[in-house]
Amino acid sequence: AQSVTQLDSHVSVSEGTPVLLRCNYSSSYSPSLFWYVQHPNKGLQLLLKYTSAATLVKGINGFEAEFKKSETSFHLTKPSAHMSDAAEYFCVVSDRDFGNEKLTFGTGTRLTIIP
Amino acid sequence: DTGVSQNPRHKITKRGQNVTFRCDPISEHNRLYWYRQTLGQGPEFLTYFQNEAQLEKSRLLSDRFSAERPKGSFSTLEIQRTEQGDSAMYLCASSLSGYNQPQHFGDGTRLSIL
């Protein structure tokens, strides 16, 4: 069975400082990993995806994530937070060997940006 | 690319009533997915279609829930005899088939049961 654990339910950072959102995964097979962002009362937007081509993945809006197999981690980072980054972030895993039909979501990390 | 469209955005109904939601996927996408998201939680997979065929259903999808995609384009999700516990955001997503195809989500339908 596959699962993800988002280690922080809430992260607060000051505008202009780095962002780190932590995620650990568990998967029996070769995983695909994603980060999605959800703004209030909106659907989910794909930030980035890992599919084994490169361990450092760059996404939209300056976000990136690094896949570390030895640590079973896929943490999301951004060098400098912007007010518009305030949202809920979800780490997501699917079993690539069985296709990406069924996504398993973490419980989310709410990111607050302090002006 | 007009994105995934869901209607209605909000639905308020009394317990015991039936409700139906509609999802229009991105036009070239042959896969369509339904998820449910309760307050403070991540979305949970309900079911998915490849073209008009429903290929997998979660155990979360009780007998009161039914989903269809009759012509392989739009899909409907019906809940019969709604219960308080059905209150949630219902999200639809679509994708191309094949490896590493990301799912694109609509803005969801928020269901409130009085």
Rounded CA separation A49/A22 (Å): 15
Q: Is B100 on the interface with A (CB under 8 A)?
A: yes
Q: What is the pLDDT of residue A108?
A: 96
Quick check: B4 and B92 in contact, CB under 8 A?
Answer: yes
Confidence of residue B60 (pLDDT cuts 50, 70, 90): confident
Q: How far is B16 from chain A (nearest CA, A)?
A: 26
- Tens digit of each residue's pLDDT (9 = 90 or more) over A55-82: 899 999 999 999 998 999 999 999 999 9
With contacts defined as CB-CB under 8 Å, which chain B residues touch A108?
Answer: 40-42
- Give the residue carrying structure tokens 């890992």: A50
Helix (H, G, I), strand (E, B) or coil at A78: strand
Q: What's the whole-number mean pLDDT along residues B103-114?
A: 94
Q: What is the pLDDT of residue B56?
A: 86
Q: What are phi and psi of B25, to 5 degrees?
A: -80, 175
Q: What is the pLDDT of residue A97?
A: 57
The answer to whether the Cα torsion of A95, A101, A107, A113 is positive or negative is positive
Q: What's the whole-number mean pLDDT along residues A17-24?
A: 98
Q: What's the whole-number mean pLDDT along residues B90-110?
A: 90
Q: What is the pLDDT of residue B1?
A: 55
Quick check: B90 and B21 in contact, CB under 8 A?
Answer: yes
